[in-house]
């Protein structure tokens, strides 16, 4: 019985090309009590592997968080399987705005302590006491209200390429980092302001809204289904799109274009650009924004040093990497000091002051 992926990304890509089928990329999450995550995980892998599902799925005692792709002609089978599981019946599936047959190239179903790394002790507050969900039309109305503070619950490299107009974008590397910053900088407005939050697909706001209500915020709201569902509703109902730029996604597409606005800059030359890439030097692999001209001139590398290393024969590169581990820059997501136009550090308080809160 196969319980783990056995094919390389290259082999899987070749199979996708050979199959010649369109695939759907989608995501979903659900907080629920799962008694034995390992047994549940194995059941999902066996069933979904047979359906040619590929993606990254996290299972924990607190629920499930899935980002995946599958052949479009097997969607109904997949949905029927979800509906056969009590806590996943009729769950909202966020269908990707832009489709790519190779958004995922492996099926990874992992048991984790949490389905989102939030660093919170859930025993200290009621995680089911969540904020009020807003559909796209309601959301558009709320964020125009002068009594609303709109907060982006994503990380800096996500909001850098796309965000809602006038949103507060905490300059953080992780979701957990943003929680204390937001609470501290909005502590004087727990009762007189609407705290409206959004993220990619809604999962981070589910936990954050309960946390902020526990911390004393009285008027807490969240964008239902996140940016992905917002875009679907905007297109379906012909609403005004208030999102600027691209929505960062955690698969090989890296982003979905929501509007034609380009609000970011190449980290190497400073020209307007909003497409992330990974440094071609495998020992670095830094995620950063690089325009087409710099990609050509720098050979898809983030520095001349990385470019020189990447020109070496593959075996020499492997020797250089032995015992070195990965560079910490990998986790900086565009903050490396050698990038002259990396995103400026911004404090949430400075943004709020400009809004005269």
Q: Does 128 lie in the same domain as 199?
A: yes
pLDDT digits (tens, 9 = 90+) for 209-244: 999 999 999 999 999 999 999 999 999 999 999 999
Q: Does 350 lie in the same domain as 223?
A: yes
In-domain check, residue 271: no
Q: Does 204 lie in the same domain as 350?
A: yes
Give the residues across from 245 on adjacent strands: 162
In-domain check, residue 268: no
pLDDT digits (tens, 9 = 90+) for 3-51: 988 899 999 999 999 999 999 999 999 999 999 999 999 999 999 999 9
Q: Does 211 lie in the same domain as 350?
A: yes
Q: Which domain holds residue 199?
A: 122-238+346-354
Q: Does 95 lie in the same domain as 197?
A: no
Q: Does 126 lie in the same domain as 107?
A: no
Q: How many domains does the chain have?
A: 3
Structure-block tokens of residue 133: 């969900």
What is the C-alpha to C-alpha distance for residues 174 and 119, in angstroms, rounded to an integer? 10
In-domain check, residue 251: no
Last residue of a domain, one of 77, 111, 145: 111
For residue 35, give the CATH number of its domain.
3.30.70.100
In-domain check, residue 313: yes
Q: Does 97 lie in the same domain as 134?
A: no
Q: Does 144 lie in the same domain as 212?
A: yes
Q: Does 350 lie in the same domain as 218?
A: yes
In-domain check, residue 60: yes
Q: Does 101 lie in the same domain as 19?
A: yes
In-domain check, residue 128: yes
pLDDT in tens, the chain (357 residues): 789 888 999 999 999 999 999 999 999 999 999 999 999 999 999 999 999 999 999 999 999 999 999 999 999 999 999 999 999 999 999 999 899 999 999 999 999 999 998 888 888 888 889 999 999 999 999 999 999 999 999 999 999 999 999 999 998 988 988 999 999 989 999 999 999 999 999 999 999 999 999 999 999 999 999 999 999 999 999 999 999 999 999 888 999 999 999 999 999 999 999 999 999 998 888 999 999 999 999 999 999 999 999 999 988 888 887 766 554 444 467 778 889 988 764 544 444 444 444
For residue 184, give the CATH number of its domain.
3.40.250.10
In-domain check, residue 257: no
Q: Does 200 lie in the same domain as 54?
A: no
What is the C-alpha to C-alpha distance for residues 64 and 51, in angstroms, rounded to an integer? 19
- Please report where in the chains the tokens 């909001």 appear, as a residue: 159
In-domain check, residue 296: yes
What is the C-alpha to C-alpha distance for residues 200 and 321, in angstroms, rounded to an integer? 35
Last residue of a domain, one of 57, 76, 111: 111
Q: Does 129 lie in the same domain as 85?
A: no
Buried-state track 247-262, b at ≥16 Cβ within 10 A, e below 16: bbbebebbbbbbeebb
Catalytic residues: 199
């Amino acid at each position: 019985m196969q319980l783990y992926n056995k094919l390389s990304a290259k082999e899987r890509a070749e199979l996708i090309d050979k199959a010649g089928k369109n695939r759907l990329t989608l995501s979903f999450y659900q907080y629920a009590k799962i008694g034995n995550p390992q047994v549940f995980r194995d059941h999902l892998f066996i069933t979904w592997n047979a359906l040619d599902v590929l993606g990254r799925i996290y299972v924990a005692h607190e629920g499930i968080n899935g980002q995946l792709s599958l052949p479009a002609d097997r969607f109904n089978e997949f949905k029927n399987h979800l509906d056969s599981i009590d806590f996943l019946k009729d769950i909202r599936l966020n269908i990707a705005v832009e489709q790519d047959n190779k958004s995922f190239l492996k099926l990874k179903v992992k048991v984790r302590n949490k389905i989102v790394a939030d660093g919170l002790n859930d025993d200290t507050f009621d995680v089911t006491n969540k904020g009020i969900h807003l559909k796209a039309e309601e959301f558009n109305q709320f964020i125009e209200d002068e009594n609303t503070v709109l907060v982006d619950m994503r990380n800096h490299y996500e909001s850098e390429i796309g965000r809602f107009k006038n949103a507060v974008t905490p300059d953080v590397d992780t979701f957990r980092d943003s929680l204390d910053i937001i609470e501290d900088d909005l502590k004087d407005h727990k009762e007189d302001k609407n705290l409206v939050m959004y993220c990619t697909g809604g999962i981070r706001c589910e936990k954050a809204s309960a946390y902020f209500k526990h911390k004393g915020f009285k008027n807490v709201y969240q964008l239902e289904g996140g940016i992905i569902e917002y875009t679907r509703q905007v297109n379906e109902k012909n609403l005004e799109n208030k999102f600027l730029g691209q929505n960062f996604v955690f698969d090989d597409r890296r982003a979905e274009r929501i509007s034609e606005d380009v609000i970011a800059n190449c980290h190497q030359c400073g020209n307007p650009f909003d497409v992330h890439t990974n440094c071609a030097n495998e020992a670095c692999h830094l995620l950063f924004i690089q325009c087409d001209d710099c990609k050509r001139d720098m050979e898809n590398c983030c520095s001349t040093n990385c470019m020189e290393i990447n020109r070496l024969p593959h075996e020499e590169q492997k020797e250089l990497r032995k015992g070195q581990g990965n560079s910490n820059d990998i986790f900086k997501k565009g903050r490396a000091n050698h990038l002259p136009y990396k995103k400026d550090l911004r404090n949430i308080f400075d943004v709020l002051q400009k809004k005269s809160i």
